[in-house]
Structure formats: structure tokens, C-alpha cells
Structure 1
């Protein structure tokens, strides 16, 4: 059993779409989970559906949604305070040092983050790379295991199949609850999930199939 899990993603909702099922499973086992969220996603394009946010109110709304999702998942939240869509321009060594300092205090046995260059968004790639660098800088006998999540369309072809494939079917409802906490982002795409029990059974099964598996690569450090 893990001692403590740290999840490192750049945006509110990354934790819910990316790893909520695995997080819920860890919490059921009694494993503490801490989410280090890089930004408030204040430059996001989605403003609710129908629109109810604007550029000034969006960070406030997304912060509240993030807090609610973390409450739903029963995880500790630490907001890192970086600016959305600028992580790729931050000094990676400084970000890594900041992450390492936090992890030295928490001492996780497992870190979950994005797979650099295979995570679509520049913020995903940058914070994933910084998280992995932070772990690399630790003494090899004290490093937590790193699960890196790839989400590009061709990552199977480039990286092969992930070695961690979590069936989170039993935690599907937990994942949906967390995702739907991010209403400003999820309403348009996943609004139908609020009434999933009313959808045709074939559509229900397709949704559950797509969202009941979370995959990660165990990062290999070269020493």
C-alpha cells in the first residue's frame, strides 16, 4: 500500500479527468492524497454553458470548483500559484526546486503527473517535466515512484502500452462527481452526464467504458 500519493497537474479539472478514479481508490484504501495544482486555469476558453463567467470572474469560479472537486475526492489541496498558459516559460529548475521542497515535507511514495511531450498542452508538458526533475534530484533511495500520464493521440504508437492500467469501474461515480464539480469546463462537453441514467443503455455503457480506465507509465530514471 502507498504511504502518501502526490498528484501534480497544472489546471483545475486535470485531477478529475486524469486520475480521479485512481485517487478515489487510494482514498478508499486509507492512503492520503495531496493535489499540487499549478494554476487556476484562468486563461481557459470555456466560460460555462450557457456562458456565465468572464475573464475577470473565471479564476474565482475555477478556484471554487477546484476546492469542491478536492472535497468530493477527499484530498488535500495545495495551489502553487503559477499563471495559466505560462508554465512553459517558467524556469524549470526553479519550479522543480519548489516542487521538491513541498515533496520533501510530504514524503510521498508515489507521484502522478503528466508525461512530458506527450500531454498535448504546453502547461501539461512543462509541469510534468518539472515534477519529474524534482523527483530526479532526490537521492535515488528516497525517490517516490512516478506515474506519468500521456494523453496525445499517438502515445501508444510512440511509447507502447502503459504498464499501469487501472480499472476504476468501481469508482466511476466518484470520477463523474469530481468532473462535474468543474461545471464551467464540463457543462458543455459532459452536461449529459448529469443525467446519465436517462441516456440509452448503449450510450451509458460507452461513456462508462471510456471513463473507467486510467493509464500511466512508470517513469524510468537513469542513474
Structure 2
């Protein structure tokens, strides 16, 4: 019973940039930990209102896309088992231009409020999109201030961290999560983000064909330098 209570008490906080980041990049990991009783809170900096995809064929416009993407994100959260969703209400594609200090303070407040065991965000330089990198930078600063630096991990794309040395990391810095048992939930979350995924024909093929496009693992970079023998497991949590 004590072990069960310990499992239920664990908490994970994601601070990401746009609706769909959670599903497209690390949906398998979120579904895995939600199924194990981990309490997950997602903070989305924007509502993705500047997204280029408007459905296929297009059925959204700049006036309607934000509300649609919020609805889709709430559906995806249900698919993955994410219990709490917050928005920072920053306009899409402007995160990099925000005054960092109040944003850091705000995220620090969320960290204190949620008391997470693990914080996930984007890498400041490997995030791929200016909004991604900017939200990763301020979240990293907030973790430092709140004493959560050791609990901070960066999400990564696909299997790029199978060769972490290419990016200045060692294998000891990488956590590799087996998500093979949770790919159905990830696919359902992909499809929940309808306006963004309709253009990708493979997402809507029969389930067995779509699922074959997913990798069995998702990879995370520990923010703190590690000793070579630090990670002798493949679990996000210490």
C-alpha cells in the first residue's frame, strides 16, 4: 500500500510552447506515466493561433484557430491522461520577445504550486522553434531559482539522442523511455490535434499502419551534468 501511495503522489510538470507539442513529441511518455498514477500538469505558453495549418481542406482562420486548438489540446490531454492544463496566454510566435523576468517569476510560482518531481521543457538551443527555445530558457531559469534544476529534463525530437555525442552530451545524460505499450494513446492524441495533423496522410491510415511510424522510445536530456554511472536505469524519475 505504501508503494502505491508513493506512485500516486508523484508529479510531472510540462512547460511547453504550443498545443500539440505534448502529443507529437512526448505523448508516449505522458501516457505511460499517467497510466502509472503520476499527476501531470501541462502549461502551454500559447494557444498556437499563428499555426500555418488550418485543417485539410482549410476550415479555420486567424479568428477561429485559437479556440479550435485549445479544444483539441483539451481532448489530447484526455487521451494522454494529463489532469491539469494551464495557459500563459502569450501570443504564438512572440515568446522570444517577452520580458523574461516576469515570465520566469510566473513559472517559478507554478513550480512551487505544483511541487513536481520532474519538470519537462524544451532545450534552449535544440528546441527547433524560437518559441520552444524561449520557453525552455525561462523554464530552466525558473527551475534554478526554485531549486528544481536536478529535476529538469529537456524533451528531444524522435531518436536524435540515440547519438547524444553529436550534441555535446554523453549517454549518461540521456533517459530513454520505452513507450511501446502506449503508442495507441499517442496516436489518439495525434488525431485529437485534427487541424494540425489532417495534412499528414499517414496519421489517418489504419491504426496498424499509423502506429508503425512511431518509435518505441522517447528520449530526454537531463539538465544537470551527470557522472558516467549516474543513470543505471531507464526511468525519468530518480
After TM superposition, the score normalised by the length of structure 2 is 0.82
Show the counterpart of 2:152. 146
- Compared CA separation, residues 21 and 153, structure 1 to 2 (3 A): closer
CA distance in 2, matches of 1:39, 1:221: 30
- Aligned-residue offset at 1:196: 2.9
8 Å Cα contact 1:118-1:152 kept in structure 2: no
- Compared CA separation, residues 144 and 67, structure 1 to 2 (3 A): farther
- Aligned-residue offset at 1:144: 5.8
CA distance in 1, matches of 2:182, 2:55: 26
- Aligned-residue offset at 1:152: 9.7
CA distance in 2, matches of 1:12, 1:154: 22
CA distance in 2, matches of 1:103, 1:120: 24
Show the counterpart of 1:51. 58
RMSD: 2.3
CA distance in 1, matches of 2:219, 2:207: 26
Show the counterpart of 2:168. 159
Show the counterpart of 1:188. 199
Aligned residue among 212, 219, 222 for 2:223: 219
Give yes or no for the alignment of 1:67 onto 2:74. yes
Show the counterpart of 1:81. 89
Show the counterpart of 2:115. 107
8 Å Cα contact 2:187-2:211 kept in structure 1: no
After TM superposition, the score normalised by the length of structure 1 is 0.88
Aligned residues: 213
Structure 2: gaps of 5 or more residues? 1-6, 227-238
CA distance in 2, matches of 1:181, 1:123: 22
Structure 1: gaps of 5 or more residues? none
Show the counterpart of 1:95. 103
- Aligned-residue offset at 1:130: 0.7
